[in-house]
Amino acid sequence: MRIDIPLSCPVPLKHSTVQLAHGGGGRLMRQLIEEVFLEPLPASPLMERHDSAVVPLGAERLALTTDSYVVTPRFFPGGDIGRLAVYGTVNDLAMAGARPLYLSAGFILEEGLALEELRRVVASLREAARECGVRLVTGDTKVVDRGKADGLFLNTTGVGRVPSGRSVHPLRVRPGDVVLVSGDVGRHGIAVLSVREGIAFETPIQSDCAPLTPLVEALFDAGVDVHCLRDTTRGGLASALNEIALDGGVGLVLEESAVPVDEGVEGACELLGLDPLYVACEGRMVAFVPAPQAEAALKALRGHPLGAGAARIGRVTEAHPGQVSLRTRLGGHRLLDLLSGEQLPRIC
């Protein structure tokens, strides 16, 4: 049974206060951005809805992005908040095809935070910046009363240069393009959850947090005409694809059986009632490339350790713009929707 209801259109905000679900990467967050931020702040690069704003500076094009990190716990299997704050911002630059140059770091510290822990975070941040070849050039520190922040919040802003000739944007996605993913999905979310909730799994799951610049450069070095890139962070693969479908005005068809998911992640999701397609990653991206170049792109991705698990997972269609449909393992089709808020673990 199918019913025609235009539910990808905005519905009015229900809440009069900010809810956790407004930060979940789903439909509520999209509404918040559209209604509260974009209407009063209609600056054109902002309106592009890309991971970075790409702005001209003389003959050059600069990419600019900012992101805040509030992860709990601050140290998790495979990473920590310092590493995440560098990779996350560098990855947002990379998703616009930019090479990262400079980074700022703003710390909001809660009274009582152990200095030793702060030192560990800073050391990690410095090490990650070195690894990514990005220079930390400015910063800011504020201290707030106990209870006013969850120990440590971290904001990073990144500036990068977009090499001439590159244009990576949701509006360049075309029907016929192929969707690639750079590796298995859902690791970061499960790794953080396992520590936060004290859930022990048979095999400890490591976060995938990693810089994506080398993979992006490998695609361009292989001569691939990359149409669009998106890192699959909050809201996971499904949310990233929905954003591209909506912003690019195209339809997407995803092959469920082609999406790589680590067995441990899949087992954990099964146990908790979560869908791995909506679980956050911090070192994975989707790439939209012309079909004739799909094999070359896959080879380029797989040539780098961070892209060893790359796979072809779907295609772009002319039909059903703004929607992502999933071909199930049994051969049926269903909608792969934006979530209303965050996924909540189920009861049984």
Partner 1 sequence: MMKYVEEYRGAREAHRYAQALRSLVTRPWTLMEVCGGQTHAIVRFGIDQLLPPGLTLLHGPGCPVCVTPVALVDKALAIASRPGVLFCSFGDMLRVPGSEKDLLSAKAAGADVRIVYSPMDALALAERMPERQVVFFAVGFETTAPASAMAVHEARRRGLRNFSLLSAHVLVPPAMEAILASPGRRVDGFLAAGHVCTIMGTETYQPLVRAYRVPIVATGFEPVDLLQGIHMCVAQLEEGRADVENQYARAVRTAGNAPAQAMLHEVFEVVPRAWRGIGPIPASGLGLRDRYADWDAERKFRVAEVGGREDSECQSGQVLRGLLKPPECPAFGTRCTPETPLGATMVSSEGACAAYYRYRRSIGPCASTSP
- Footprint of partner 1 on this chain (CB under 8 A)? 1-11, 14-15, 17-21, 27-28, 197-199, 202, 251, 263, 266-267, 270-273, 319-323, 325, 328-335, 337, 340-341, 344-348
| Nearest CB to partner 1, comparing residues 243 and 337 | 337
- Rounded to a whole number of angstroms, the minimum distance from the CB of residue 207 to partner 1 is 20
Q: What is the DSSP letter of 320?
A: S
- Rounded to a whole number of angstroms, the minimum distance from the CB of residue 212 to partner 1 is 27
| Nearest CB to partner 1, comparing residues 141 and 257 | 257
| Nearest CB to partner 1, comparing residues 143 and 344 | 344
- Rounded to a whole number of angstroms, the minimum distance from the CB of residue 106 to partner 1 is 26
Taking the C-alpha atoms of residue 105 and residue 126, their distance in angstroms, rounded to an integer, is: 10
| Nearest CB to partner 1, comparing residues 43 and 271 | 271
> What pairing do the DSSP bridges indicate for beta strands 178-181 and 251-255?
unpaired
- Rounded to a whole number of angstroms, the minimum distance from the CB of residue 348 to partner 1 is 5
> Do 53 and 72 form a contact (C-beta atoms < 8 A)?
no
Q: Which of 273, 275, 267 minimizes the C-alpha distance to 338?
A: 275
| Nearest CB to partner 1, comparing residues 11 and 115 | 11
Written as six digits, the tokens of 221 are: 């070095």
> Do 95 and 285 form a contact (C-beta atoms < 8 A)?
yes
- Rounded to a whole number of angstroms, the minimum distance from the CB of residue 275 to partner 1 is 9
Determine the 3-state secondary structure of 274 from DSSP. Answer: coil
> Mutual orientation of helices 213-221 and 81-94 as an angle, nearest 10°?
30
> Do 300 and 221 form a contact (C-beta atoms < 8 A)?
yes
